[in-house]
Copies of this chain bind each other. A is one copy, B any other.
Amino acid sequence: MQSFELDKTDILKIKQALEGEEHDLLLLLEDYHASEIAIIFESLPLESQKRIINLLPIDLASEIISEMNPEAHPEELLIELEPERRQEIVEELDYDDAADIISQMDKDDQHELLEDLDKEDASNIRNLLTYHEDTAGGLMNTQVIKVNSQMSKKQAIDQIIIQSEEIEEFYTIYVVDSDDVLMGIVSLKDIIKSKANATIADLLNEDFVYVKADVDQEEVADLISQYNLTSIPVVDANMKLLGRVTFDDVIDVLEQESTEDMLKISGVSEDEELSGNWVEAVKSRLPWLILNLGTAFLASSVIRYFEPTMTKIVVLAGYMTIIAGMGGNAATQALAVTVRRITLSDLTDNQAYKTVLKELTVGLINGAVNGLIVFAFAYFYDDNLLLGLVIFIAMTGNLLIAGVTGAGIPLLLKRVGIDPAIASSIIITTFTDVFGFLLLLGLASKLLL
């Protein structure tokens, strides 16, 4: 398979085939990987998705459903299927994927679906549903390859072959004692390379990374990324092995966290679905805009306070918007760099202090350079040296404040345990608006009147 990009011709072809014979549709679908069909589903109505899922063999149908983006709502597709077909598909899913999808259904649908399942499957899925979806427990799959430390090389290989019937991909073999307590890990390579009379206990690697089930998914992702792990074992409070989280789950978590950061600093609620409809978008953004409206009134009250000054020097209105706008943009720059840095690594107090100092310096320099440009404009165009000086000071001061608040506020929030990304541009620009107006109009009223 060559590196592959879906385009609209793929979707068109499938839409046409949906109008025609089943046989031709099946033939066409053979060209696609399950994850590609899952992407194509995002452009198809529920009715067409249902038709394709009913047509395909169970293993492929279930793989497509497990690959569907949560925002494409695979749970709605499942609910639409005939109970028998649905049951077959869910039983083919990995437990963690099944639990993720079922957790999005309402309680009645969950109950109905789980009732129909094989008892063991249902109990495993119910168990996974008890973990919070943002934790190691919520991410993990309970199907792992595990061997007992007392096994011989031969016994272990036999066990691995049997267990691997159920698990398509495995990277690490977990070693447990008779109570299922995790003792260490071993690789298939080491087992094969070992002498014929070796036991698993001889090969055991006890220096391994693990997580408790209630650990936050972001921390799980950081560990997998930091230690370059393909999978990480999940244990309960007594070190009993519960399951594993694999690198591919973590790639999804990392993308999700980056999306949330980017949305939050732009004043969008983190749970707005990127492809959601307008109702959702209004719900997610209107509260932030109304908050912004409150802060904008605050800034405009500064202007009202200086109305007498403005009436006498009308040209200030034009400069006002320049200084506030520049402050807002400089603050957004400092904010983006700082929030992203905090997300990727924890900063020591000393590093935090140096970061604020750096942003102060950057603000001072960028403020002075831009201040000089505006000074020149005021001097040559408006022919007013003193006005130019006032504007220069206001610009420099405002960009300095922009740097300090843009870096300082997220660092402060992190310090007191609040998510630094909620220091959105909306909050930060309040400072630069209010401070910019105060500096410009305050100085103007003292020096120019």
User: If the complex has contacts A286-B366, A289-B366, A370-B293, are A332 and B3 also in contact, measured as CB distance less than 8 A?
Assistant: no
Chain B residue nearest to A187 (CB atoms) is B169
User: If the complex has contacts A211-B3, A274-B344, A336-B268, are A289 and B329 also in contact, measured as CB distance less than 8 A?
Assistant: yes
Name the contact of A358 in the complex, choosing from B278, B350, B361 (C-beta under 8 A): B278
CB pair A346–B212 under 8 Å, yes or no, is: no
- CB neighbours of A433 from chain B (8 A): 321, 325
Chain B residue nearest to A3 (CB atoms) is B211
- Interface status of A386 (Cβ within 8 A of chain B): no
- CB neighbours of A370 from chain B (8 A): 289-290, 293
Name the contact of A215 in the complex, choosing from B3, B267, B277, B377 (C-beta under 8 A): B3
Bound Cα distance A415, B350 (Å) = 45
CB pair B171–A329 under 8 Å, yes or no, is: no
Chain B residue nearest to A338 (CB atoms) is B274
One digit per residue, 1 when the CB lies within 8 angstroms of any chain B CB and 0 when it does not, for chain A 203-227 equals 0000111111001000100011111
CB pair B311–A325 under 8 Å, yes or no, is: no
In A255-272, which residues have CB < 8 Å from any B CB?
255, 258-259, 261-263, 265-268, 272
User: If the complex has contacts A300-B322, A344-B255, A358-B281, are A369 and B286 also in contact, measured as CB distance less than 8 A?
Assistant: yes
CB pair B225–A251 under 8 Å, yes or no, is: yes
CB pair B255–A251 under 8 Å, yes or no, is: no
- Interface status of A413 (Cβ within 8 A of chain B): no
Name the contact of A300 in the complex, choosing from B252, B321, B329, B349 (C-beta under 8 A): B321
CB pair B330–A285 under 8 Å, yes or no, is: yes
CB pair B157–A3 under 8 Å, yes or no, is: no
One digit per residue, 1 when the CB lies within 8 angstroms of any chain B CB and 0 when it does not, for chain A 20-42 equals 00000000000001010001001
CB pair A227–B33 under 8 Å, yes or no, is: yes
- Interface status of A328 (Cβ within 8 A of chain B): yes
One digit per residue, 1 when the CB lies within 8 angstroms of any chain B CB and 0 when it does not, for chain A 313-349 equals 0110111111011101110110111011100111011
Bound Cα distance A325, B346 (Å) = 33
- Interface status of A447 (Cβ within 8 A of chain B): no
- Interface status of A189 (Cβ within 8 A of chain B): yes
- CB neighbours of A157 from chain B (8 A): 192
Chain B residue nearest to A215 (CB atoms) is B3
CB pair B251–A366 under 8 Å, yes or no, is: no
CB pair B337–A272 under 8 Å, yes or no, is: yes
CB pair A262–B258 under 8 Å, yes or no, is: yes
CB pair B314–A307 under 8 Å, yes or no, is: yes
CB pair B255–A332 under 8 Å, yes or no, is: no
Chain B residue nearest to A193 (CB atoms) is B161
CB pair B285–A362 under 8 Å, yes or no, is: yes
One digit per residue, 1 when the CB lies within 8 angstroms of any chain B CB and 0 when it does not, for chain A 155-178 equals 001001100100001110000000
- Interface status of A6 (Cβ within 8 A of chain B): yes
Given contacts A281-B359, A293-B370, could you give 12 more A-B pairs where the C-beta distance is less than 8 Å? A1-B207, A4-B223, A7-B346, A43-B350, A157-B192, A250-B251, A262-B339, A266-B335, A288-B329, A297-B322, A301-B318, A325-B429
Chain A positions within 8 Å of B, measured between CB atoms, are 1-8, 11, 33, 35, 39, 42-43, 69, 157, 160-161, 164, 169-171, 188-189, 192-193, 207-212, 215, 219, 223-228, 230, 247-248, 250-252, 254-255, 258-259, 261-263, 265-268, 272, 274-275, 277-278, 281-282, 285-286, 288-290, 292-293, 296-297, 299-301, 303-304, 307, 310-311, 314-315, 317-322, 324-326, 328-330, 332-333, 335-337, 339-341, 344-346, 348-351, 358-359, 361-362, 365-366, 369-370, 373-374, 377, 425-426, 429, 433, 437
